[in-house]
A and B are shown apart, each in its own frame.
Chain A
Amino acid sequence: MSEERFLELLIGPQHPGSGHMKITAEMDGDIIVGFEPNIGYVHRAVEKIAETKTYMQIIPLVERPALPDTANHNLGYTLALEKLLGIEAPPRAQYLRTLLAEINRIHSHLYGIGIHGIFIGSSTMFMWAFADREPWMELAQQLTGARLTYSYMIPGGVRRNLPEGFKDNALKATRYMERRLKDYDKLFVHNPVTVARLRDVGILKKNLAARIGVVGPTLRASGISYDVRKIEPYCAYPHLDFDVVVREEGDSHARLLVRVEEILQSIRIIRQVLDEVPDGPVFLESYIKLLSPKIREEAEKTQIMRFPATFAALKPPKGEATSRVEAARGEVFYYIVSDGSPQPYRFRMVTPSFRNVVAFKYALLGRRLADIPAVYGSLDYFPPEADR
Chain B
Amino acid sequence: MDIIQFLLDLLFSEAVFVPLIFPGLLTLTVVIVVIIWFERKLAAKVQLRYGPLYVFKPLGGIVQLVADLVKFLFAELIVPKGADKRAFLLSPVILFTFSVAPVVAIPLSSGYAAVKSDLTLLIVPALLTLAPIFVLILGWSSDNKFSFIGGLREGYMMMAYETTMFVAVLAMAVTYSSLSLIDIAGKQSNGLWGIVLNPLAAFAFFVAMLMTTARFPFDVTEAESEIVIGPYTEYSGIYFGLCLGASYAKLYVLSLFFAVVFLGGWNPLIWPLNLNPILPGVAVLVKAFLVMLFCVFLRSVYPRFRIDQALQLGWHKLLALSVASVVLALVLIGLGFEVG
A contacts, CB < 8 Å to B = 7, 9-10, 15-17, 30, 117-125, 127-128, 131, 187-188, 191, 193-194, 196-197, 368-373
Contact = CB atoms under 8 A, between A and B. Distances in A.
Contacts of A123: 43, 47, 299-300
A120 B49 contact: no
- Among B46, B47, B226, max chain A CB count under 10 A is at B226
Given A121-B216, A124-B46, A187 B305 contact: no
B305 A193 contact: yes
B48 A122 contact: no
16 contacts: A7-B145, A9-B145, A16-B228, A30-B307, A117-B303, A120-B303, A120-B304, A121-B219, A121-B302, A121-B304, A125-B303, A131-B47, A131-B48, A193-B302, A369-B227, A370-B307
Contacts of A30: 307-308
Q: Which secondary structure characterizes the binding site on chain A?
A: helix
Given A117-B303, A368-B307, A193 B226 contact: no
Interface string B282-316: 00000000000000000111111111110000000
B300 to A, nearest CB: 5
Closest 6 CB pairs of A and B: A17-B225, A121-B304, A127-B47, A373-B225, A122-B303, A121-B303
A194 B309 CA distance: 12
B225 A128 contact: no
B305 A196 contact: yes
Contacts of A372: 226
Given A119-B225, A121-B225, A370 B49 contact: no
Given A131-B47, A197-B306, A370-B226, 6 more contacts: A9-B145, A131-B48, A187-B301, A193-B304, A193-B305, A371-B306
A121 B145 contact: no
B303 A16 contact: no
Nearest to A127: B47
Contacts of B300: 123-124
A127 B44 CA distance: 9
Contact of B224 (A17, A193, A194): A17
A17 B224 CA distance: 7
A120 B301 CA distance: 12
Interface string B207-238: 00000000011011001111110000000000
B149 interface: yes
A117 B48 CA distance: 16
Contacts of B220: 370
Nearest to A121: B304
Contacts of B219: 121
B47 A17 contact: no
Contacts of B226: 17, 369-370, 372-373
Interface string B322-335: 00000000000000
Interface of B: 43, 46-49, 145, 149, 216-217, 219-220, 223-228, 299-309
A373 B304 CA distance: 12
Contacts of A187: 301
B235 to A, nearest CB: 16
Contacts of A191: 301-303
A124 B43 contact: yes
Contact of A15 (B48, B49, B228, B303): B228
A368 B216 contact: no
Contacts of B302: 121-122, 191, 193
A371 B305 CA distance: 10
Contacts of A193: 217, 302-305
Given A7-B145, A121-B219, A124-B47, A368 B305 contact: no
Contacts of A120: 225, 303-304
Contacts of A124: 43, 46-47, 300-301
A193 B305 CA distance: 6
Nearest to A17: B225
A147 to B, nearest CB: 19
Nearest to A376: B225
A106 B199 CA distance: 46
Nearest to B308: A368
B305 A197 contact: yes
- Among B217, B303, B304, max chain A CB count under 10 A is at B303
Contact of A128 (B48, B301, B306): B48
Nearest to B224: A16
A332 to B, nearest CB: 27
Given A121-B304, A128-B48, A131-B48, A196 B224 contact: no
Nearest to A372: B226
A214 B301 CA distance: 33
A122 B305 CA distance: 11
A7 B152 CA distance: 14
A373 B145 CA distance: 17
B234 to A, nearest CB: 14
B279 to A, nearest CB: 38
Contact of A188 (B217, B225, B303, B307): B303
A16 B225 CA distance: 5
A10 to B, nearest CB: 8
A127 B219 CA distance: 19
B49 A127 contact: yes
A117 B216 CA distance: 14
A125 B303 CA distance: 9
A121 B47 contact: no
